Amino acid sequence: NAEAVRRIVHNLNEPTVPSFMDDFPDPAIILTGDTWWAYATNANGTNIQLASTTKEAFDGRWKRHVGYDVLPSLPAWVRQNRSDVWAPSVVQTSPNNFVMYFSATWDKEPKFHCLGTATSSTPDGIFTPSPEPFACPLDVGGAIDASGFLDPVTKKRFVTYKIDGNSLGSGGTCNNGFWPRKNTPLVLQEVSADGIQKIGNPINLLNREDVDGPSIEAPSIAYINEKYFLFYSSNCFDSGFYDVRFATSSAVAGPYKKGGKLLISPNLGLINPGGAETTIDGKFVTFHAGPPGKRYMYTGRMTFDGDNTVTICTNGGCRSAEADGEELGDVKDEY
């Protein structure tokens, strides 16, 4: 039978090897031609970091473009001496146009972040920022963690992001550890074909519950088997409880049902895995994880058994979780 011919190709729970040994938080990916590109939160003296590899080498070592900044100039609404440019995401809207979504510190009040957009004719930049913010809901805490999504069913474009209620918190873990905790909803904004002009108002997709700790964040949507999968992280990024989870829906605007934990410490030798972004088809994923004080980039591939079970395989092994919330744990399979 099929089970008898499966081959174990991973040493389960061996430490997963990062794409390279350097700080590269919140990695986002795009494939153009035969090249994968990855973008990351500010570090190593740049606003937005860049790495790349060939199409065939996705699971192996990547090249970090040391000292190269794909977004060297920031718009006037960003506090220039403390910009904190976080969690980029890049989409291709036409053969010669790429749009980057990013968050950065609001000039008038550094506790808030707002979302911005930038464009380039090539995936490796340089990206030129738009003068005005894309979203800046200061009354509810600002916005971070934008991710673009092209719905393969309707051909409509969307941006999903986090309302950063943590910035209005009362302290503690991720500034939202004390009661009453603030909401940190994940929202969906429809945009025009250029990826920048907003259509209508944002829609709430998912909100933080007590089990999620102080935050849910880092949303990324994929469409598989006629279902929408919303991947996200819960808890605080350095808490030891940070994770990669998912929720499912039959419509891009929801309602979404929360599923299981796909990655959590110390599975596959990972510490605080999170900040994941997937390709639209859900087959490829990047995320970051420890060691303490660093967030390295890791890659994985995902498979889907119907619309219920998700399996992620890294070079350290595989993990599965179900849409009904059950965690299946380590699995023996190949990808």
Active site residue 217: yes
**CA torsion angle 77 134 141 293 (round to 10):** -80
Using an 8 Å Cβ cutoff, are 39 and 48 in contact? yes
Q: Cis before residue 126, ω within 30 degrees of 0?
A: yes
Region class of 155: left (phi > 0), else alpha (psi between -120 and 50), else beta: left
Which of 144, 152, 249, 153 is CA-nearest to residue 205?
Answer: 249
Q: Which amino acid is at 129?
A: P
Region class of 219: left (phi > 0), else alpha (psi between -120 and 50), else beta: beta
The order of strands in the sheet holding 97-105 is: 86-94, 97-105, 113-120, 128-129
Give the up-direction half-sphere exposure of residue 21: CA atoms within 13 A in the CB hemisphere.
Answer: 1
Residues 215, 216, 219: CA angle, nearest 5 degrees: 150
**Backbone CA torsion sign across 11, 15, 16, 20:** negative
Q: Are strands 128-129 and 49-54 parallel, antiparallel or unpaired?
A: unpaired
Q: Which of 26, 164, 212, 243 is catalytic?
A: 26
Active site residue 226: no
What is residue 157's three-state secondary structure? strand
Q: Could you give the CA distance from residue 124 to residue 9 in angstroms, rounded to a whole number?
A: 34
Q: Which of 69, 190, 217, 243 is catalytic?
A: 217
Cβ-based neighbours of 177, under 8 Å, separated by 6 or more: 169, 171, 213, 214, 236
By CB atoms closer than 10 A (0-12, 13-18, 19+), residue 154 is exposed
Which of 136, 135, 116 is CA-nearest to residue 127?
Answer: 116
- The catalytic residues are 26, 217
